[in-house]
Structure 1
Amino acid sequence: MNQTSNHGSFPSLAENGFWRYFNFIALYFAEGLNMGMLFVGLPAWMAMKGKTPGEIGGFAFACALPWTFKFVVAPLMDRYTYLPMGRKRPWVLFGQIGLVASLVAMAYVPDPLNNLQLFMAAAFGVSAFGAIQDAATDGMAVDVIPEDEQARANGFMGGARMIGSSLALALGSWMLSTYSFTAAMLAVAAMIGFMTLVPIWLREQPGEKIAPWTVGTTSPAAKKLQATNWLAILQSLLNVFRLKNSLIISLLLFITMGAYNYFETLLPLFAVKISGWTNVFYGQAFATADLIGGIGGMLIGGYLIERFGKKRMISVYFALIILMVIALSVLKIYWSNTPFIYGFIIGYRWLNAFAKIGVYAIAMQCSSKKISASHFTFYMTIGAFGSMVGATLIGPIKDNFSWEITFFSFVGMIALAWLTMHFLNIDKQIEQLAELEDKESEKQVAQLVR
């Protein structure tokens, strides 16, 4: 169905494709604002201010750590919610509002570069709400996006996140240099607050409440999918992660996310210390790269995956990333050449965006709707563990090896991800998930009859 609901003046995501895309573009744009500042903008600023690779890696670790706890929050989302407002929408709103509040709190950390423990603690708090928002948004996406829209939707979502990241990076880096840390963080908080208006006005299912005090009721679709006890959730999780392909997807996410965070935390250090860039110039370059990659992801990233297949296109992207990084490693004479490094960053971020769209589309397609938040979030949590490991590797590898070896370590990670993906059977996973969901539904019916 592609028409607006008759239940009140506000549309529902389940009924309307345009509003589905609009909602997830807004939420992923907000997520990109947060992540662009925390994972790229602030590390580049720290590098410009003379912080060591170990200190920057420690900050990246603090930012990545809360994302590993999503596996605790996700089952809570599947088990507890305020159903009259939707299965995941109340959690999305909680995450968005918490994200704004925590960014405002972080903005007032005194002298952050000389108060690193409090600075990292504040970053941890922001990332915690970011992880909640991300888990809730992902669960909502699994619930309401039809399978035939998932690749394209992931293109829109991934692209929006990169555009948000580029905006936060460009604006944030400029404000860090021109004004202050406080002003930069408050600006990001304000933009995320504005994006929160979108999930406030859009229902998940027709007839649901916009707010607790408005007219509406629990939708039959939400009631049918809602898990009713902890045992059922844990049993479903155990069943899906017994599947061979669930384990392969988990390993793929662990390796790819670890590799990406390793390399993307390393890039500002390289650009500032080796290429002689300022953090503002790096922020502008990375923002331009993300803007190009994000627009490309939204326009053609999802389409290419739909047209040629997820595994085939991801293999192409991995191969091109490997070739680009090998070229960077061996062409040392160009490391101080600004156009060369600028072009490399744009090309890498374009390919990185397209590869992420494909990997996330695989994870979404291979997630159970019955425990949408828990299953998809477990995949993402394993990816977050990988990100954390990738951040911790930066200090030891860079302190003990040359830049060439440091780059080739990333090449090895991507090659391992490519090898892992070739053991994955997506069709088999979907078939087995459908069988499990049917068996669990039959079991619940039998228990009710008794």
Structure 2
Amino acid sequence: MQIAQPFADPKTRGIPSLSENTWLRYFNFIALYFAQGLPEGMLTFGIPAWMAMNGKSPGEIASFVIVAVLPWSIKFIVAPLMDRYTYLPMGRKRPWILVGQAGLILSCIHLAYVPDPLNNLNHLMIAAFIVAFFGSFQDVATDGMAVDIIPAEQQATANGYMWGSKICGISISLAVGSWLLSEFSFTVAILMLAIVIGIIMLVPIFLRERQGEKIAPWTKGKASPESKKLQLSNWRMIFRSLYSVCSLRNSILVASVLFISQGGFKYMSTMLPIFTVTELGWTNLDYSRYFSTAKLVGGIAGMVLGGFLMVKYGKMRMLNVYFVGTIFFIAILSFSKAYWGDRSFIYAFMIIYNLLYTFACIGIFAIAMQCCWKKVSASQFTLYMTIANLGQMSFAGLIGPVKANYSWTVSLFVSAIIIALAWLVLQFLKVDKQMQAVVELEKRELS
């Protein structure tokens, strides 16, 4: 019996393709998610802390964060376009990733040269929106590529590597970027992001999705049979299938857990720099040093243990542990005012919180991927992530009015209440029933 060989043109062979090599797949997604984390670290943590240090109000800071999150909440608009159109000789999603990376570099350069950013908030927010748009654009393409080429049995491990590397990117960007802000200037800090992202762009430039494809439009190669088979060409089929799977009971529950939980996490991560700088008297550099280290610990732990724990003990069981743990430790922080002046206490909370946050994100994103229908999984997964980012934007918007009307104890504890609501909804989610329902949809399509 002969085993079918993968499509390949001998003239295009060289570095193994992502579909052929497991470790290159992991390396590719680690690099791309790390690149996504770099601008996010500055937009959602570093710049807000810098704004707080320079006397900007919680309302102004929250508005900036909302604008920076907004593109991640509308990225579903571009997902069907990526499913429908591409340059197949270079792969289904790789051309879009390259566009996203190039856009990130150029938009970071634009952001770096915003004049007098602290006194020109409208221009600053517009520039931040553009950076976030290209970050979300690359995210859609990267997730689509992941769904296409990562085997089901590797998804939990891959999610651990991907999310962990993004957290590492956020923490390193926050630490180094905040230092550059303090020691040099806003322009230098943001230009450094563009340089590092430019170096990382070499990864998708030289790694093909499948063997035999072109490295660049002018090089040798052609579309692989696998890409041609997966490519969708009918808008009606895309949206009909997407509606069918997204209207399932457990699809709605997955979306609800994502919306609420990510909103709760974003509320806390946006509140922390305001709390430490305005209430505890930290500088933005103090905050970035402590929080970035805590983020880095969470990211590395996520890469090493996140996928392993999910595989060994089960996604749902571990996600329950992470949600309950998050609620418990936020409650301790909220009602321990006597210890707020102790930096070791706050630092310990940051480390524990970031560990639980990273593991929880790995878990819920792995569950969301598992609940996707392969036929429209890229668009469906992007829809889930869009809903998660809508939750982030919505709950971050509560910070201004909550802090204006309540004490710090109540303002911090609101995050625990939001996560508790997500945990409650999680109890009704049945992943096995979702998978059975997807099989039934597939049979109905074939009949």
Instruction: Name the TM-score class by shorter chain.
Output: over 0.9
After superposition, the Cα gap between the structure-2 partners of 1:439 and 1:198, relative to the gap in structure 1 and judged at 3 Å, is: farther
* 2:163–2:302 contact (8 Å) kept in structure 1: yes
1:148 paired residue among 147, 153, 156: 153
Equivalence map 1:291-306=2 (5 Å): 291-306=296-311
1:198 alignment counterpart? 203
* 1:142–1:367 contact (8 Å) kept in structure 2: no
Q: Secondary structure at the match of 1:371?
A: helix
Give the superposition deviation at 1:373: 2.3
Q: Distance in 2 between matches of 1:436 and 1:226?
A: 19
Residue 52 (structure 2) pairs with residue 73 (structure 1)? no
Which amino acid counterpart does residue 125 of structure 2 have in structure 1? M
Give the superposition deviation at 1:438: 4.7
Q: Distance in 2 between matches of 1:253 and 1:136?
A: 20
Which amino acid counterpart does residue 423 of structure 2 have in structure 1? W
Gaps of 5+ in 2: none
Give the superposition deviation at 1:240: 0.9
Q: Distance in 2 between matches of 1:238 and 1:112?
A: 43
1:188 alignment counterpart? 193
* 1:4–1:15 contact (8 Å) kept in structure 2: no
1:175 alignment counterpart? 180
Equivalence map 1:188-337=2 (5 Å): 188-337=193-342
Give the superposition deviation at 1:316: 0.6
* 1:4–1:11 contact (8 Å) kept in structure 2: no
Residue 25 (structure 2) pairs with residue 17 (structure 1)? no
* 1:366–1:429 contact (8 Å) kept in structure 2: yes
Q: Distance in 2 between matches of 1:393 and 1:33?
A: 26
Give the superposition deviation at 1:81: 0.6
Give the superposition deviation at 1:95: 0.7
Which amino acid counterpart does residue 343 of structure 1 have in structure 2? A
1:381 paired residue among 379, 386, 390: 386
2:167 paired residue among 162, 166, 170: 162
Equivalence map 1:73-152=2 (5 Å): 73-152=78-157
Q: Which runs of 4+ in 1 moved over 6 A?
A: 3-6
* 1:330–1:404 contact (8 Å) kept in structure 2: yes
Which amino acid counterpart does residue 336 of structure 1 have in structure 2? G
Give the superposition deviation at 1:264: 0.2
Q: Distance in 1 between matches of 2:443 and 2:304?
A: 36
Q: Secondary structure at the match of 2:374?
A: coil
1:419 alignment counterpart? 424
Calculate the TM-score normalised by the size of structure 2: 0.96
* 1:324–1:344 contact (8 Å) kept in structure 2: yes
Q: Which stretch shifts more, 157-166 or 216-225?
A: 216-225
Which amino acid counterpart does residue 145 of structure 1 have in structure 2? I
Q: Secondary structure at the match of 1:208?
A: coil
1:371 paired residue among 372, 376, 381: 376
Gaps of 5+ in 1: 444-450
Q: In the TM superposition, what whole-angstrom CA distance separates every residue of 1:349-383 from its partner, at most 9, and x where no partner exists?
A: 11111111101111111122222321110000001
Q: Which stretch shifts more, 262-271 or 366-375?
A: 366-375
Q: How many residues align?
A: 442
Q: Please provide the CA RMSD for this pair.
A: 1.6
Q: Distance in 2 between matches of 1:58 and 1:106?
A: 17
Q: In the TM superposition, what whole-angstrom CA distance separates every residue of 1:315-353 from its partner, at most 9, and x where no partner exists?
A: 111111111111111110111111111111111111111
Give the superposition deviation at 1:71: 1.2
Q: Distance in 1 between matches of 2:415 and 2:369?
A: 26
Q: Distance in 2 between matches of 1:215 and 1:246?
A: 42
Q: Distance in 2 between matches of 1:114 and 1:135?
A: 33
Q: In the TM superposition, what whole-angstrom CA distance separates every residue of 1:261-286 from its partner, at most 9, and x where no partner exists?
A: 11100000011112211101111111
Calculate the TM-score normalised by the size of structure 1: 0.96
Q: Distance in 2 between matches of 1:299 and 1:101?
A: 33
2:363 alignment counterpart? 358
